[in-house]
Every structure is written in C-alpha cells, then in structure tokens.
Amino acid sequence: MRCPWIVLPLVTAFLAVAATRAPASEARRSVIVRAIESQRDAVVNIHGQKMVGGTEEDGGDMRRVNGMGTGVVIDSRGYVVTNFHVVDGVRRIEVTLASGRTVAATLVSHDPRTDLAVIKVDIDTPLPVITIGTSSDLMIGETVLALGNAYGYEHTVTRGIISALHRCVEVSRTQRYDDLIQTDASINPGNSGGPLLNIDGQVIGINVAVRAGAQGIGFAIPIDDVLEVVTRLMSVERVDHTWHGIVAKPDGRPGVVVEAVHRESPAATVGVRAGDLITRIADVPVSRQLDIERALLGRKAGERVPVTVVRAGAEERIDLPLAAMRRDAVPLDERCWREIGLRLQPAAAGRVQKLQARYRGGLVVTEVRPNGPAAEQGIKEGDILVGLHVWETIAPENISYILDKSQEEHLNPIKFYVLRGRETLFGHIVSDTVLR
C-alpha cells in the first residue's frame, strides 16, 4: 500500500538541501577561481613540429619533434606574446584558442637574447586580451598562478608562491636569463610563454624555464621587462616600416606623458610636444608606449590617426600622420654606433641594482667601435651605461632622445656614467655628428 503523505515531506527536504547547496557553490568561487576565469580565454596553446639535432647515441641525425608551448593575447586582433624557443624553427605554427578552435599563426618579430617573440593568429573575430599588471611591487611569499599547456594538457592551472626575485639562470651555453621570478607553482614543459598571474588576475610574468631535475622550482620573466621588449618587437618601425616619432611614459595619471618627440618626425610636424598627455589614439585607450605602437600598427604611411591630447587641463584632438621610414633615416642602433661608437643592449634592472642600488637600470655595452669616441674614453665591452649628461639611460629610446638634445642644445662633449663592477666611472665623450 502506498503512503502518499510521505511524498510531500521528502520533496520539502530535497528542496531544503538543494537550497543550502546553492550558496555553497558561489562560496567556492574563490579569488583564485575568479582570477583564472577572468584570464583563461586570453591564453592560447601553441604547437607545431620542428627539426632538432640528435644525440651521440642516435648518430646525431636530425629528427622531427612535436613542440608545444603557451602564449598570451596582448591585442584583440590576434597578436600573442610567447617565448621565442617555443616557435623557433617551427614551420607551421598552430594555435588552439580557449574555445577549442585551432588556427594558424605567423611569427611577427622576435628577440633571441631575451627569448621573447610576438606571433599573429589568423582570426576574423576579436580575441580577449590578457590583463597586464606590474612586476615592480612583487612580494616574496605572495600567491601566484601558472596557466599553460603543461605536457600538452591544455589550460593546466597550478598554484604556488613567489620563492625569490632577481634570479639569474643559465640554461645552456647560448641562453641566459637575468632578473627572473622564481616560483614553486608547477611549471612544466609546455608552460613556456604562458602567464604567471597574481590573485587579482593580472599577468605579472611570462613563464620561461624549469630547473632540470628539481621539483617546485620554476622561473618567469617579469612582466615589466617583457613589456619593454615587446614594445620594441611591436613598434611600427620594426613591423610596418612606418614611424611617428613619439616617446612616452606613464606617470600615474590615465594616459601617457610625452617624454620626447623626435626631430622632423610626423609627430613634430603636427605639434605634438614634450609634456603632452596622450589619453587615446583612434579607439585605443593609451596607458603605455606599447599601446601607442598597438594603436598605429597595421596602418599605412600617409594615414592620419586621431590622437586625444590633454594640455593645461584642456582636451585637444590632433590628427597624426604616419610616414614611411626614410631611406636616409639611421636606425637607432646604427646611429649609436656611428655617433658614439657603441652597441648597447638593455640590462635587467635587478642586475644593475644589485651592483648599485641607486640606479634604476642601464644599457650593457656589447661592442665598442675601435678608435671611436667611446673607445677613446676607455669604455669597454661589459660596462653598463647608466647615464648621459643629466639623463639616465635605461632604454635604447633614451639614447635617441639624448643624441637629439645634444644636437639641439649643442651639448658636445657629453658627460657619461658607466658602471664597471660596483664602481661608477665617468668622463666626457665627444659625439661624431651624423647628418640625418
């Protein structure tokens, strides 16, 4: 015999249990869960085949291997940052998006020294873009999250802490990394090029290496260093062979402050000047130099682009024309070589500050022109150039600005400061003027 009077209490009890479970599900959405959910779609998995040299055991013959890695989307048109070693030698780069769709990609620009590369994914719809944080305020012991294509397991998430900062790691005779973040979040083969996130869901590093034979030791390139390199890799001069002439930096306000305008540049011709606050270029909000390059990337020489500028508290619009790179324009590295006789590469800020805490960074001398101005003053390969006249030299763009100023203000000779070991040396260098 059925007992219908029992059914109602059972249903009521079931609904009561279900009601108690619903809030618990939301409670489980911790800050870590939310951080991953907010950034997951801006992370891609990279794979392809490459030829590598064999070992002595197999006769040293070349063999085909499957490569894999990770990348982060930094522009909705499909521009992705990854490690160069992930795509080096890969004939056909394939990228799997968070949706599961696999598309082709091409190598846009790369820097083997820092092991960073930019690739372009072939898409017809905008991609989500990673949220960029800063590596300037990292704390040892703070929680971090690694997201990547670990051993081919796509979008693997691991958690750990920052174990140390400013690590220098030599992984081979040809590859050395300076100023890395060390973490115990599991970073495995395939994680290279993926993001290291803080619990706010901001990328604070790009995962790059593991310590062979050691568990719980992984490394990432600080995002501030990544952005400095990627700005050069995505510059319109390098990618499109156009130019604008604006050098800008953040100063805590929304937008970027123009630090310098190159002489005779398109920006100079329309009245952009040092001290201007640029808040937007076309439809792209601007918060760093990289945003300027992104906003102008893909545009043709002669195209005029609206730039929103704030001067004396008032907003103005300037139509900035892009120009083709002049055939007689001297590339920055060549200009530095010809005018002061140096080839320079950015030095990791952590490396410089370990030697002298008062410097924010510098440029490593990689070559000195015999009998050139720098050689005459005793500057040597391995020295770190930390200043010229009254300006610090942290990025290559600083050199261009200083050389322009030296011609405009007749600053010749120019006082220089170099770091040799822990000792700061100085002197006066007479620049060889180059017609531009």
Catalytic residues: 85, 115, 192
Per DSSP, the residues of 137-181 read T--TT-EEEEEEEETTEEEEEEEEEEEEEEEEEE-SSS-EEEEEE
Q: Are 86 and 116 in contact (CB under 8 A)?
A: no
22 backbone φψ class: left, alpha, beta (φ>0; ψ -120 to 50): alpha
Looking up tokens 């000047």 gives 273
**What number of other Cβ atoms are within 10 A of residue 240's Cβ?**
19
Token pair listed for 426: 């100085």
- With b for 16 or more beta-carbon neighbours within 10 A and e for fewer, the 38-53 pattern comes to bbebbbbbbbbebeee
Contact indicator for 256, 292 with CB cutoff of 8 Å: yes
From CA 148, how far away is CA 188, in angstroms rounded?
A: 9
**48 φ, ψ (degrees, to nearest 5):** 170, 170
CA 411, CA 166: separation in Å to the nearest integer?
36
Question: Rounded to 5 degrees, what are φ and ψ at 166?
Answer: 65, 35
Q: How far is CA 129 from CA 39, 198, 256, 346, 348, in A?
A: 8, 16, 20, 27, 26
CA–CA gap between residue 37 and residue 297 (Å, rounded): 29
Query: Phi and psi dihedrals of 422, rounded to 5?
Result: -100, 5
404: alpha, beta or left, given left = phi > 0 and alpha = psi -120 to 50?
alpha
User: What Rg, from alpha-carbon coordinates, does the chain have?
Assistant: 26
Please count the other Cβ atoms lying within 10 Å of the Cβ belonging to residue 129. Answer: 17
